[in-house]
Homo-oligomer: A and B are copies of this chain.
Amino acid sequence: MSASANRERNRRGEGAKLRADILAAATDLLERSGSEQAITLRAVAREVGISAPSIYAHFPTRAAIVDAVLAGAFADFNASLAQASRADAEPVADLRARCVAYLRFAAERPARYRVLFDRRDRVLERPSDQAVATRVEAFTTLVASVQRCIDAGVSTSADAFGAATAIWVALHGYATLRPALTAFPWPDQDAMLDRIITGLAALR
C-alpha cells in the first residue's frame, strides 16, 4: 500500500506534526486492541499512512512510542481526576466525585487505564522524578480528599493514607475486573461505590 494514498507529505518545517500523528495512531491501536503489543512500528505506520522507517525520525525505538503513549495516558488520567475534584465542596461529595471520575476513565478508556498500573516496575531504568510525580499525583490528591473527610469529622479513620490505599485498591480491582468479566452479574456501580467509600473511608 502506498502511503501517499492516505496522507500528504508535511511541508518543510512541519515534520514534527508526524510525531503527533504517530502518537495518536499508537494510542488508537492500544485502545482498539486492548493490548500494547498491538503497537508495532508497522501497524502504526499503516495507520498513519507512512512507511515504517519514517517513524525513526521521531522515536528512536518502538519502546519509546509505547512510553510516550503511557505518559499521555497518565496525563489524561490525572487531568480527568483533577477536573472532577470539588475540593471546596462537601468532603464526601468530593471524594465520591473523584472515585466516579476514576471509574469513568477506566470504563471509557479501558486499555489505557490498564496500562497505567499493569506494567511491572522497571528495575533497570530509573524513572525520572517527574515521571514518578506524575504517577503518584492522582493518589496524593486521593489521600488529601480522605484527609478532608477526617478533618470534617465525617470519617472515623485514623489513617488517611491507609484508607486511601484501600479505596484505590478496590477501585482498581473493580475497574479491572468489570470489563474483563462481562458475564459476571455485577451489582450496580453506585451501590458498589457506596460500599467502597463508606466502608473503607470509615464514614459515619
**Interface residues, chain A, with chain B CB atoms under 8 Å away:** 34, 37, 117-121, 132, 159, 161-163, 165-166, 168-174, 176-177, 179-183, 186-187, 191-192, 195-196, 198-200, 202
Known pairs A170-B173, A199-B199. 18 more at Cβ < 8 A?
A34-B120, A119-B180, A120-B180, A162-B192, A163-B195, A165-B186, A165-B187, A166-B170, A166-B192, A166-B196, A166-B199, A169-B173, A169-B177, A170-B196, A170-B200, A173-B173, A176-B176, A199-B200
Bound Cα distance A180, B118 (Å): 7
A165 CB contacts on chain B under 8 angstroms? 186-187, 192
Top 3 A-B pairs, shortest CB-CB distance: A173-B173, A199-B199, A169-B173
19 contacts between A and B (CB under 8 A): A117-B180, A119-B180, A121-B182, A161-B187, A162-B191, A163-B195, A165-B192, A166-B192, A168-B177, A169-B173, A169-B174, A169-B177, A169-B196, A171-B173, A172-B173, A172-B177, A173-B174, A176-B176, A196-B200
Bound Cα distance A124, B182 (Å): 13
Oligomeric state, in number of copies?
Answer: 2
Residue of B nearest to A175 (CB): B173
A196 CB contacts on chain B under 8 angstroms? 166, 169-170, 200
Residue of B nearest to A123 (CB): B182
A169 CB contacts on chain B under 8 angstroms? 170, 173-174, 177, 192, 196
CB within 8 A of A195: which of B117, B120, B166, B181? Answer: B166
A199 CB contacts on chain B under 8 angstroms? 166, 198-200, 202
